[in-house]
Structure 1
Amino acid sequence: MEQFLQRYIDSWRLNGWFIHDIFFCIVLGIGLLLVLFIVMKRKRLVTSSILLIAFLLVSNLLMIVFGLAGRGFPIKSDSPIYTDDSQSIAVQMVQGSENNGTSNGITHLIAHHLLVAVNLQTGEKQWTKSASYKETLLGEFMGGVLVHHRDDEFGQLSLLDLETGKEILSEKEFRTLHPSLIAILSNNAYQMAVLKNNLYLEGVDGKFYRFDGKTLSEDVKAQDYLSARFFIETELPGYFATHPQPVEDYQAIRDFSQAVLTEPAIQAYANLQPKVVDVDIIEKTALVSYRQTQRESAEHMLLHYDMNKHQILWESNIGIINSQQQQPAVRTLENSYVIQAGDRLLVLDKKMKKRAVHYHLRWNRPIDE
């Protein structure tokens, strides 16, 4: 009941999610019209009272059902976590799933997408921006974050400012400034990767290219980069958003990740679905997540493991991760780890081993510890 009341209170504010905000605005609009009616018809107290009571009942029902206060809305990562150069703002695309009922034993979900930027210094919302399933965050590039748009059989690009969420370059402006790039751009974002401040891609002509923000040129290494990213991020999603290691080391990264899971200290959690979510092959350390129990609703633990010492350095509870996501998304920064675990975004301080930020992605507000 306490959790429901908190969700109900949080639902009475704009939070960026379209399905929630549209009904919140409808409720506010109807409420404003009702107030104007009552002011203009002050003598009709009985009518005004009935309308007011009816409005309160209907508006509360709307916010519970359509404002998602009383409905499940599991959130999962839809992109790696990106940061600005100062590592003070984290940006990510997340997906929320709304249950639209069950028919013939099949549950139908409506997916909603949102770009969320969180200030890592204050723990407050920096900005939010509605998105769609046709958009993919490619990474930090050209002084912003690069967005790929699937446009039927064609692909388009735009560039967003990390600090404000506003477009630095719209799709039209990008197409005008870099027509040669757009001409060979695929509608498949998996054929592109932002690595070392360059965009590597396979063109629709079957050739491989590198774009440095100004010039497009053929590059045979692009194929190796795209292959390496595919093999690593199959096991470690978002790895290249964090680590500067040469992509040629991808086999060493995969071998190291697998070796961690064979360690006796990690094998102790073998029945709790341990999974390596990030590695540092230079420091020989890894982050491993596991469930506290075998139940799907169990809270997840995150541990930091040192392969040199063959021991666990620390553990931290990162809460429940819904079945839609299953494993946390991690971004390693200089002094902290940014972790997206279901509907929570956490920042763990590396030195103090405790939460510096605890942010609720469903309601887009910080959580008081």
Structure 2
Amino acid sequence: MTEPAELDSLSDEAFRKRLRDWLEEYYPPEWRRPVIFRLRGDSEKRWLRLMHDHGWRLPSWPKEYGGLGLPLTKQLAYHEEMAQFGTARWLDMGGTLLGPTLIKFGTPEQKAKYLPEIVRGDVIWCQGYSEPNAGSDLASLKTTARRDGDHFVVNGTKIWTTMATDAQRMFLLVRTSQEERKQQGISFLLADMDLPGITVEPIVNLAGEDEFAQVFLDDVRVPAENLVGEPGQGWTVAKALLGVERITTASPAPARYAFDVLDRLISFAQSDQHALRQLHGQLLCDLEDYVALYAQTTDAYIDGRVEGHELCVLKMLSSDLFQRISEACLQAAGERGGSRGAVPLGADNEDLRLIYLIARPTSIYGGANDVQRDIIARAIFGSRTTLSR
């Protein structure tokens, strides 16, 4: 098992080599399908436990909570090596989103109960934020939580809840009071998915996957001790979590993988080579620019030097770039771009249609790009309009 203190003593290049060697030895080869394959349920737990058992779990978490406590350069190297190796996508909402939030806002009892199981990968979490008619405008949520003794009684519905069918627990935003400003009166709760009154209905997307779901909550009794932060202060908690989410969803890894596919397609292109190579060159420049911007902004975010609207820029640019590259892949494939299933590329096969379908919703989830533009504009020009997600 690799010890965090040992990783600290390595140079950045030695750290990269140590991680590459470990991946080569232990990463399941059947999972080596980046972008088009996401680990779910038991497979995700197996991967999280494998990283934990070998000392590679949670590079950004402080060591006192079971993480690696790595400096920024090694954190970036960690994610870059994972992407370059070709690991499958995994969500890990407990580790990437909830854990840092509990470290900042949770009670000692909540940290003692939930953080160790997150570190070990024992539990899958989902995020109960978006609702019908309250997706990107998150502060307009209608799900209520009424205090009843030692419990909150929760009623409402959440939608587009990623991996809710696999999750054992959910962190969710609820309205505990009606206030003049809609951001006020919102609270942050933790709930077990097997509580009476919770119903999960899968939603099948265009790619034929049921990663999304609608979650119905009917008189669900959640222990009051599961309130994170103060009552009515959930918006403050949520904003901190959304910053982490935007850093996570804005990773250049999907766009980089799609560009690698485009690179291989160029030699098999059946369309106008000159126009295609011009597009290829432009996308390469845009990708390199974005990788540099992402590294710079992530550095500033960790040091506390980034405003929320700057993270909105990352989220918007990354989704736009991924979509443009996936579209270029279809263009380069010519008539094969409309094929279902894998398209042969020399010795390899790539499902171009699936890459395209995975790229489409990136401009919607985590806050629609049009909403991100509104947030950016208000931050720059000023407005009394309240911020949405």
TM-score band (shorter)?
A: under 0.3
TM-score, normalised with respect to structure 1: 0.24
Bigger strand share: 1
Higher relative contact order (CA 8 A, sep 6+): 2
